[in-house]
Every structure is written in C-alpha cells, then in structure tokens.
Amino acid sequence: MTFELRSFCCFLLVVVCLGWTAGCGGDRLPLGRVTGTVTLDGQPLERAEIVFQPEDGRPSYAKTDSQGSYELMFGADQPGAQIGRHRVMITTFDVITEDEENPLEIPERLPDRYHRNSELVEEVQSGRNVIDFDLRSD
C-alpha cells in the first residue's frame, strides 16, 4: 500500500472513530435523514464508503449496498446527518482483513475529485433528504 493511500485510509478511520465518540450522551443535535443511490458511469456502485463532513461538527457515514443505495448514520444507532452544508467524500478503497496474514486490498476505482480532493458539497435539510450521486470515472 502506498504512503499516500495509507494516509488517506488513516484519515477515514480517524473521521469515523471521531464520529462515533464525539458527542456521546447529552443533547441530540437536529438531524435530517439522508438516503440515496451512488452510481459510477450509470451502474450501481457497491461497497462504496460515504462520509458527509459538516462545516462544524461530527461526520455521518454509510456504505452502499449491491444496488448502490445508502442511508447515512450519525452514530451506531442514530440515522441521519447534521443539518447544514457538508463536504462529501466517496471511496471504494477497502482492506479486507479476514486473513490477517494476507489482507486483501480493494483498489480505489474513483477519481480523486470524489474522495481525496473531493469537490462534492451537499446541503442536508430537516426531515427526509434524497441525495443521489451520479459519478463518472473520466
């Protein structure tokens, strides 16, 4: 794994861990439910990881299913995302560690503009939000 890729994976891990631990207990923030579909060149994008990072606050995350569908989670048992503007990062890179001696790396299929240098910005409103992403590999 290259240093750059390893750094990005560490960044994603930190974002998710902070999201799980930040703000535990106390008052719940107002959230909007966010669902949608992610496609790549018109085809459903399976097993993509999605992070919605608000301008101020903790992120929400999701993983797409076989149809490219997702639902954001603000915490382990709390669906949604903070209301407001979010930078969105989508990645297909993954490391499967079922066999610790031989981890399987699934390479990134998306251009940097969707994850490392994400140009994606979305606004989450109160209530239900359907936010689809029609990504292009070129």
What is the per-residue pLDDT across 34-69, written as a single tens digit (0 to 9) for each?
A: 999 999 999 999 999 999 999 999 999 999 999 999
Residue 20 has pLDDT above 60, yes or no: no
In-domain check, residue 39: yes
* Residues spanned by the domain of 60: 3-24+32-133
In-domain check, residue 62: yes
The model carries a pTM of 0.77
| Structural domain total, the chain | 1
Q: How far apart are CA 45 and CA 92, in angstroms?
A: 9
CATH code: domain of residue 102: 2.60.40.10
